[in-house]
């Protein structure tokens, strides 16, 4: 079976890795010059447990399985892995109800979560945090990996298996009935084409003449760099807020990497370009107009409370607000300073035009000889190996 994969981010690479275990007739197409220009290269590297997601949803099942598979791959290849754990800390009274919902969910899902019921218990796990409530959740199995390391190792393995990754190949048109694929360089024919284009997956779907009820809304995630007066004040456990389960975002939290960089983020504000990491970066006027219209309409009519979300997230663009709302993460406000960082990512979130809600699950659509992965939102990095196995089995690709 001859298979094309569009997109060489972590989802595309994991698919190629899984499929190439049985066949070498796999070709990966990438419009960029490398595999790390977008979501994968800008990922925080957090390997999530799966506690946030609705039980039995695809997102939940693949995250739980994918977490184990990702860690196995990292360990087998001697890559960076930090088993740091994660604390979920309440910031307001309503968070206590959500905390209990998440705790009961974790028991149903079999996720190793400990409910903490005193300040002393919380401080024992992370001495450098500043809890304001006596309750918290500790997720022991949350870890940190390095997305760049994992991607480069996958690319190395694929190269050894004689799998081609064709960089600078932009898809122009797909004919789903016969598997023909036209790029800016050549024309190809496949038995199966998999659309794993991430931020551009909806555009690839249009080039394949796929019609759905979904529209794509990109959100920009900005991080603040945290500089500590002394590294002894730096939390080693990941510190997260209790999330608002109405939205698919997790809120401002801490994250660090193997180089010792420490961040607060990300914000999740509407952005009017899928690759607008910086002002006017790869500015596309037609895309700007299209996304402006989409967001304006949804914010004006407050669909899925998007107006409230936009106002809430807009505050996170300001250093003073981020520092104020992050008071539970640091023992003393005098032990650190914040500055703007170059760490920025963009996630494309699907909006269901029928239900008027942000869709909070992975979306797979089969169209003749094309499989579209339309909503590879977080935790796609954690879930990637499990998603590859799921797609391979579901569509009989081996």
Average pLDDT of the residues in 203-228: 90
Structure tokens given for 377: 């939102």
Considering the chain, what percentage of its residues have pLDDT values greater than 70?
90
What pLDDT does 327 receive? 86
In tens, the pLDDT along 39-97 reads: 898 899 999 999 999 888 999 999 999 999 999 999 999 999 999 999 999 999 999 99
In tens, the pLDDT along 125-141 reads: 999 999 999 999 999 99
Would you say residue 176 has pLDDT above 60? yes
Strand order in the sheet with 136-139: 113-116, 136-139, 86-89, 238-241
Please state the separation of Cα 252 from the chain's center in Å: 14
Q: At the fourth CATH level, which superfamily is domain 1-80+144-213+356-398?
A: FAD/NAD(P)-binding domain (3.50.50.60)
307 — pLDDT class (breaks 50, 70, 90): low
Average pLDDT of the residues in 353-379: 90
3-state class (DSSP) for residue 34: coil
Structure tokens given for 28: 């990966």
In tens, the pLDDT along 328-339 reads: 999 887 888 888
CA distance 338 to 318: 11
Considering the chain, what percentage of its residues have pLDDT values greater than 90?
65
Structure tokens given for 140: 């022991």
In tens, the pLDDT along 253-291 reads: 999 999 989 999 888 877 777 777 776 666 666 666 666
Query: Is the pLDDT higher at 322 or at 226?
Result: 226
In this prediction the pTM is 0.91
**Domain chopping of the chain, boundaries:** 1-80+144-213+356-398, 215-353
DSSP-assigned letters across all residues of 161-211: TT-EEETT--EEEEETTTTEEEESS-EEE-SEEEE--GGGHHHHHHHTT--
- Angle between helix axes 10-19 and 147-160 (nearest 10 degrees) is 30
CA distance 30 to 191: 19
Would you say residue 373 has pLDDT above 70? yes
């Amino acid at each position: 079976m001859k298979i094309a994969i569009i997109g060489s981010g972590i989802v595309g690479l994991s698919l190629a890795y899984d499929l190439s275990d049985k066949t070498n007739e796999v070709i990966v197409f990438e419009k960029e010059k490398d595999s790390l220009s977008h979501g994968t290269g800008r990922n925080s590297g957090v390997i999530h447990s799966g506690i946030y997601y609705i039980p039995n949803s695809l997102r939940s099942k693949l995250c739980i399985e994918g977490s184990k598979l990702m860690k196995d791959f990292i360990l087998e290849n001697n890559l960076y892995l930090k088993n740091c754990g994660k604390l979920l800390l309440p910031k307001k009274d309503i968070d206590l109800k959500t905390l209990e919902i998440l705790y009961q969910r974790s028991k149903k899902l079999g996720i190793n979560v400990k409910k903490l019921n005193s300040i002393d218990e919380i401080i024992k796990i992370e001495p450098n945090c500043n809890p304001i409530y006596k309750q918290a959740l500790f997720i022991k199995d949350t870890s940190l990996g390095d997305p760049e390391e994992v991607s480069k190792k996958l690319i190395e393995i694929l190269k050894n298996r004689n799998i081609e990754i064709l960089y600078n190949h932009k898809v122009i048109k797909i004919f789903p009935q016969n598997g023909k694929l036209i790029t800016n360089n050549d024309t190809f024919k496949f038995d199966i084409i998999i659309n794993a284009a991430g931020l551009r997956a909806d555009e690839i779907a249009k080039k394949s003449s796929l019609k759905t009820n979904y529209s794509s809304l990109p959100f920009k995630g900005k991080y603040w760099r945290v500089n500590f007066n002394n590294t002894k004040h730096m939390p080693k456990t990941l510190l997260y807020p209790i999330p608002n389960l109405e939205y698919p975002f997790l809120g401002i939290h801490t994250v660090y990497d193997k180089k010792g960089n420490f961040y607060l983020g990300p914000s999740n504000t509407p952005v009017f370009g899928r690759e607008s990491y910086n002002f006017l970066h790869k500015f596309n006027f037609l895309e700007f107009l299209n996304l402006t219209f989409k967001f304006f309409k949804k914010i004006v009519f407050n669909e899925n409370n998007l107006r409230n979300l936009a106002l809430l997230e807009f505050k996170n663009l300001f250093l003073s607000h981020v520092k104020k709302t992050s008071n539970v993460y640091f023992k003393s406000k005098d032990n650190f300073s914040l500055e703007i960082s170059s760490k920025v990512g963009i996630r494309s979130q699907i909006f269901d035009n029928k239900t008027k809600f942000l869709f909070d699950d992975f979306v797979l659509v089969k169209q003749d000889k094309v499989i579209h992965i339309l909503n590879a939102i977080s935790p796609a990095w954690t879930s990637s190996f499990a998603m590859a196995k799921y797609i391979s089995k579901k569509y009989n690709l081996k």
